[in-house]
Amino acid sequence: MRRLAMFVLALLVGCAATAPLATPDSVLEQFRSAGLNVANVTTSEVLVAEIANALPSCAGARFDVEGDDGARVVICGKESEAEKLATYYTSLGESSPLFFSHVERRGGLVFQMSGSLPAETFQKYVAALS
């Protein structure tokens, strides 16, 4: 019994030491800390309403980078859903240059930025994700 109690205690301590999962707000804070523009943030409820039927484990935020040109940060509880979302954004751009956007996926995180913004701007935000 004592060994079981010690095992459970060690397991709880180990879980508490695990780094918390990213949230849309924590990613936006990373961007701000890097001195990048994050303006007019749209609440995650609005963004999730756009994708809720197809991707129920995802939460996100949209923000303006320059003028009305913006980006989205989406965190998915399932990597398969993050992959579907990243593929969706990429395939839109392949269907027409009008819908091109920059896309970065890291595990359950998807970062999508308007294709009308320069690749250099996109890379600054991607670097801030590290």
pLDDT of residue 50: 61
For the residues 109-115, what does the mean pLDDT come to?
96
For the chain, list the strands marked E by DSSP.
39-42, 58-66, 69-76, 101-106, 109-114
Q: Write b or e for each residue in 78-111: b if 16 or more Cβ atoms lie within 10 A of its Cβ, otherwise e.
A: eeebbebbbeebbebeeeeeeebbbbebeebbbb
Does a structural domain hold residue 3? no
Does a structural domain hold residue 12? no
pLDDT of residue 53: 62
Does a structural domain hold residue 49? yes
| pLDDT band (50, 70, 90) for residue 42 | confident
For the residues 90-102, what does the mean pLDDT come to?
94
- Give the CATH number of the domain where residue 33 resides: 3.30.200
Mean pLDDT of the chain: 81
For the residues 5-17, what does the mean pLDDT come to?
36
pLDDT of residue 47: 57
Domain containing residue 41:
21-128
| pLDDT band (50, 70, 90) for residue 68 | confident
Does a structural domain hold residue 15? no
For the residues 80-94, what does the mean pLDDT come to?
92
Percent of the chain with pLDDT over 70: 75
| pLDDT band (50, 70, 90) for residue 73 | very high
Report the number of distinct structural domains present in the chain. 1
